[in-house]
Structure 1
Amino acid sequence: MNLLKKIILIASFVPFTLLAQDQKDKPKPNWQNLDLERDGVMGISTEKAYELLKGKKGSPVIVAVIDGGVDEEHEDLKSVIWKNSGEIAGNNTDDDKNGYADDVFGWNFIGSSIGNIQHDNLEVVRLVRKWQDKYSSVVNSTPLSDEERKEFSQYKKMITDFMTRLDNARRGYESLSVIKKTTEEIVAKLNKPAPTLKDFERYKSANEMESKVLKVIKSEMKKKNDYKLFKEDIDDTYKYYSSQVNYHLNMDFDPRDSVKDNYGNAFERFYGNADITGPDAEHGTHVAGIIGAVRDNNLGIKGVADNVRIMGIRAVPDGDERDKDVANSIRYAVDNGAKVINMSFGKAYVWNKASVDSAVKYAESKDVLLVHAAGNEAKNTDFATNYPNRIYGEITAVERPVLAGTGTIPGFGRPPVVGRVLQDTVKDKRFDMPSAKNWIEVGASGWKNDDELVANFSNYGKRTVDVFAPGVQINSTVPGSKYEPNDGTSMASPVVAGLAALIRSYYPSLTAVQVKDVIMRSVTKVNQKVKIKEDGASKKVKLDEISISGGVVNAYNAIQLASQMSTASL
């Protein structure tokens, strides 16, 4: 099950609630592709759009999925996986001379001949590790240059952030350990592999701990009387906090040596291996299915685009991605023919923004559209930093840390984060900086056209989020030829990437910038106010106050507009 649906820890014992909606409250199958007027859900009208395209023939479009891995053998994906015709699989030779041996389906920048990275640190840990020898013993009165003083100020904020995260993770891990163990003990006493709510209600607590845990079990079982699902929630959340403590926030853990690159050289290009699946391809496979799962094979689900080739690029571990790998992934995708790149990942800190900026500029020069998930911290990214982003250059400004809210586990496995908010005096300068025109930032929406349209976890921003797209209970492909629903802006981004691919397939004369313009101008405008969280409080706003377009993407409208623009350019 998706991590967004897992139990979230707060400060006290029995400290958790579910982020997911009640299991009884489910959307229609394929809802993200359905139409508001016809089907009563706020999908993007994909099925209706194909009526406009009936009789037309599109050309294949390569869509790169930069992620944690893609299962190229999935029953609903294997026929649309990109294949490098110039490469011979398994001969350990760079047949097409592109610098990457055996890259038949794509490339993996977080692996080497000795294996693959699964877990990594958060970027804040890597930055603290980088600066701790220089600044750990510095006090405010220590003589420092202006540049060093700036670094020292950032270091102090990072230390605060790191310690807050680590404390939350340790408390979460300890609490889940007790809850998991006590639950297993109760179930063992019941002597039933799949106890029901009535079984738990009849059980008499042996001690105070069992009494507390029983309250939680019964509360959740009333929502969905399925012990298997409840146990998955417990086990997955335990695993999440275990990863936080042992890997993400472990200052002594650094797996990078296993990649065998020169990590200090941010512009080194050729390293990694050809394994695009890796040890955990759930997230990337889910993303790939949303974009282009085969629509007419009577299997599983329907992707948005009907004529794509999915290029798998592995760069995102369980933890924060590294800028060097992101930059190289973008360049690899561009050089090997991708016209759309999906990036369902993000982080609060940056190591080497210049390397990513250079790659984004390269993609812009080669007419490639970049689609990026806005993030799942329920934050305003006009202020809170989120990397990568479309802005070229780094902000040199005094920043203050703001707690991003307890208990939110974003769709890509991110922890509750401490964001950084720019001072108002700096905000305008940020948007005066040059930025990529081939970039679309995507927030997540739900299927109900009411005040809860914007997903309660989604980031937003009047000047930083372009559009919203379906990102709640999106059913898609997962490894092993299976299917599961997931939540997140990670799911909304590939909806838009699929739409971009659909447009580029049938109207190939349109440039990346024109395709973005089509998507922005063809949204379904939302008139009612929607709920968002701001500084921990709920408020209602118009959608054009929290996004540039003020709407949810719409494939039917987009195809109509693309047809008009394509005809006009002839």
Structure 2
Amino acid sequence: MKRLTMVLGLLVPVLSFAQQQPQKNQNWHLLSKDTDKVYGTNVIKAYNELLKGKTPVKVVVAVLDGGIDTLHEDLSANLWRNAKELPGDKDVDGNGYKGDTQGWNFIGGPTGQVTKESTEYQRVYFKYKDQFANVTDEKQVKKKDLQNYKWWILSKSLLKKSDTIAPVDYRGQEVKDDYTNIKDRFYGNANLMGDPYFHGTHVGGIIGAVRNNGKGMDGIADAVKLMGVRVVPNGDEHDKDVALGIRYAVDNGAQIINMSFGKRISPDRKMVEDAIRYAEKKGVLLVNAAGNEGMDIDIYPHYPTPFFIKGGKKAPNMITVGASGATEAGLIASFSNYGKQTVDVFAPGVGVYATMPENKYSPLSGTSMATPVVAGIAALIKSYYPTLTAKQIKHIIEQTVTKIDIPVTKPKSGGQKVAMTELCKTGGIVNAYNALLMADNMSKKN
């Protein structure tokens, strides 16, 4: 799988489309099929025809990622501020996180922060190697260790020749927490600009870069506050950080959480699942990337998964997103994961132009880019129709997709053509215009 500096596994090198399109199409993901001949999201059409004269309310969107450039010219005005906190080494608001004026970094420590990490399958493999290396049958494993054994077997299958040396525990050197203990919550620091923060900066811009300021590009939502929550290093995130990141965002007022990350192994899956349930209880919508391996994640799960461990029920407050391209020739991104049960919608994720650190801008590709497109539309709906719940917004986004009735190319299939409904539950690409029309009708019934 191709990566850009290996971050998240949810980002791929910029594809030829982004390099070949004329300047006017840098914002193709906001355009319309009927007027612009690209499979965008109709965001510009929605602003021009549906939202003029209407006053939105601010919506807080948490960006669980690798950090955000808090000084960026196109982002700083739209960053969330904790009005009850002050910068520095005091916990003024009493929430347990000192100086969290713009968010929190769960992979930081007293003197610095984690930038490089190993993959989860490496960590699991080497953790249990001595315990399970000589096991020849699952029946030899005690019941309490069975799930760990299954994770270890999967980890072993994912191991590469370059992984023969046990990975250095970068986290243990810096963060100083017990990453197996969910009750050990108060660690990290307030610095959101630890490498690789270019990824979160790009994601944040897609959701909510300042609109109509003549700089760089326009975010999708015009009344948004972006909360930075740093949980993803250059490598695989830890489940505990993700779980606490979700809880931190919920407790501090986030209404939507963008999660452009993921991995094949989740040894502490229950921590994350409990946090997803907590977000559901508090009415918070989670928008989750499908991943970039070109795989069927109905068969090969990509974590966090929307399906719960017991019973297989799907989280009603979570949308999982695949990546689409601009034209029929490349409508399904060749790298995108898919799944007719797991993936809910597709959204533009090829050559999406957005903010980069140090007041720069660039197109990037990945389900990491498609996910904030959906989070941005969710924030747009919530800001103009604030009485709608997370579950209602999820329903609206899924019911109003642009249905794709032509055969599309299944990723990593050698060119096999399939129905779009074979790749995602709704069989379509998100459509902000249609979503806002439905939101307007639904809000009148609330």
User: What is the CA–CA distance in structure 2 between the aligned matches of 1:115 and 1:46, rounded to whole Å?
Assistant: 40
Q: Show the counterpart of 1:372.
A: 288
Q: Show the counterpart of 1:122.
A: 119
Q: CA deviation at 1:268?
A: 2.2
Structure 2 residue identity aligned to 1:277:
M
Q: Show the counterpart of 1:528.
A: 406
Q: Show the counterpart of 2:9.
A: none
User: What is the CA–CA distance in structure 2 between the aligned matches of 1:22 and 1:558, rounded to whole Å?
Assistant: 27
Are the aligned partners of 1:61 and 1:307 in contact in 2 as well (CA < 8 Å)?
yes
User: What is the CA–CA distance in structure 1 between the aligned matches of 2:157 and 2:53, rounded to whole Å?
Assistant: 60
Residue 432 (structure 2) pairs with residue 555 (structure 1): yes
User: Could you report, residue by residue, the CA deviation over 1:325-374 in whole angstroms, capped at 9, with x for unpaired residues?
Assistant: 00000000000000000000000001211111111001000110000010
Distance 1:468 1:86, change over 3 A: same
Q: Show the counterpart of 2:414.
A: 537
Q: Show the counterpart of 2:10.
A: none
Are the aligned partners of 1:266 and 1:352 in contact in 2 as well (CA < 8 Å)?
no
Are the aligned partners of 2:18 and 2:363 in contact in 1 as well (CA < 8 Å)?
no
Residue 32 (structure 2) pairs with residue 35 (structure 1): yes
Are the aligned partners of 1:4 and 1:488 in contact in 2 as well (CA < 8 Å)?
no
Residue 4 (structure 2) pairs with residue 89 (structure 1): no
Q: Show the counterpart of 2:362.
A: 484
Alignment of 1:73-222 (within 5 A): 73-90=71-88, 92-140=89-137, 143-145=140-142, 148=145, 151-152=148-149, 154-162=151-159, 165=160, 167=161, 170=162
Are the aligned partners of 1:267 and 1:355 in contact in 2 as well (CA < 8 Å)?
no
Are the aligned partners of 2:322 and 2:338 in contact in 1 as well (CA < 8 Å)?
yes
Are the aligned partners of 2:17 and 2:351 in contact in 1 as well (CA < 8 Å)?
no
Structure 2 residue identity aligned to 1:463:
Q
The one of 250, 253, 274 aligned to 1:358: 274
Q: CA deviation at 1:513?
A: 0.2
More moved, 145-154 vs 498-507: 145-154
Distance 1:41 1:271, change over 3 A: same
Q: Show the counterpart of 1:256.
A: 171
User: Could you report, residue by residue, the CA deviation over 1:13-40 in whole angstroms, capped at 9, with x for unpaired residues?
Assistant: xxxxx88226663261211001111111
User: What is the CA–CA distance in structure 2 between the aligned matches of 1:484 and 1:319, rounded to whole Å?
Assistant: 22
Q: CA deviation at 1:264?
A: 2.8
Structure 2 residue identity aligned to 1:346:
G
The one of 313, 323, 337 aligned to 1:444: 323
The one of 379, 390, 395 aligned to 1:512: 390
Are the aligned partners of 1:64 and 1:313 in contact in 2 as well (CA < 8 Å)?
yes
Q: CA deviation at 1:88?
A: 1.0
**What SS does structure 2 have at the residue aligned with 1:386?**
coil
Q: CA deviation at 1:498?
A: 0.3
Structure 1 residue identity aligned to 2:418:
V
**What SS does structure 2 have at the residue aligned with 1:476?**
strand
The one of 271, 274, 296 aligned to 2:187: 271
Q: Runs of 5+ in structure 1 lacking a partner?
A: 7-17, 171-244, 395-431
Q: Runs of 5+ in structure 2 lacking a partner?
A: 7-12
The one of 21, 26, 41 aligned to 1:26: 21
Residue 348 (structure 2) pairs with residue 473 (structure 1): no
Q: Show the counterpart of 2:445.
A: 568
Q: CA deviation at 1:3?
A: 4.3
The one of 498, 501, 504 aligned to 2:376: 498
Q: CA deviation at 1:140?
A: 5.0
Give TM-score, length-normalised by structure 2.
0.93
User: What is the CA–CA distance in structure 2 between the aligned matches of 1:287 and 1:331, rounded to whole Å?
Assistant: 20
Q: Show the counterpart of 1:56.
A: 54
**What SS does structure 2 have at the residue aligned with 1:533?**
coil
Distance 1:377 1:537, change over 3 A: same
User: What is the CA–CA distance in structure 1 between the aligned matches of 2:69 and 2:189, rounded to whole Å?
Assistant: 16
Distance 1:146 1:355, change over 3 A: closer
User: What is the CA–CA distance in structure 1 between the aligned matches of 2:322 and 2:15, rounded to whole Å?
Assistant: 17
Q: CA deviation at 1:542?
A: 1.3
User: Could you report, residue by residue, the CA deviation over 1:299-328 in whole angstroms, capped at 9, with x for unpaired residues?
Assistant: 000100001000000000011000000000
Give TM-score, length-normalised by structure 1.
0.73
Q: CA deviation at 1:440?
A: 0.3
Distance 1:250 1:333, change over 3 A: farther
User: What is the CA–CA distance in structure 1 between the aligned matches of 2:416 and 2:275, rounded to whole Å?
Assistant: 38
User: What is the CA–CA distance in structure 2 between the aligned matches of 1:48 and 1:304, rounded to whole Å?
Assistant: 12
Distance 1:471 1:22, change over 3 A: closer
Residue 338 (structure 2) pairs with residue 460 (structure 1): yes
The one of 274, 295, 314 aligned to 1:435: 314
Identity rate of aligned residues, in percent? 46
User: Could you report, residue by residue, the CA deviation over 1:73-121 in whole angstroms, capped at 9, with x for unpaired residues?
Assistant: 000000001010001112x111111111100000000011111000111
User: Could you report, residue by residue, the CA deviation over 1:479-505 in whole angstroms, capped at 9, with x for unpaired residues?
Assistant: 000001100000000000000000000
Distance 1:147 1:537, change over 3 A: farther
Distance 1:118 1:154, change over 3 A: closer
Q: CA deviation at 1:279?
A: 2.5
User: What is the CA–CA distance in structure 2 between the aligned matches of 1:479 and 1:560, rounded to whole Å?
Assistant: 35
Q: CA deviation at 1:537?
A: 3.2
Q: CA deviation at 1:149?
A: 6.4
User: What is the CA–CA distance in structure 2 between the aligned matches of 1:367 and 1:107, rounded to whole Å?
Assistant: 21
Are the aligned partners of 1:5 and 1:20 in contact in 2 as well (CA < 8 Å)?
no
Q: CA deviation at 1:278?
A: 0.9
Structure 1 residue identity aligned to 2:336:
S
Are the aligned partners of 1:267 and 1:324 in contact in 2 as well (CA < 8 Å)?
no
Distance 1:271 1:42, change over 3 A: same
Are the aligned partners of 1:286 and 1:478 in contact in 2 as well (CA < 8 Å)?
yes
User: What is the CA–CA distance in structure 1 between the aligned matches of 2:443 and 2:52, rounded to whole Å?
Assistant: 17
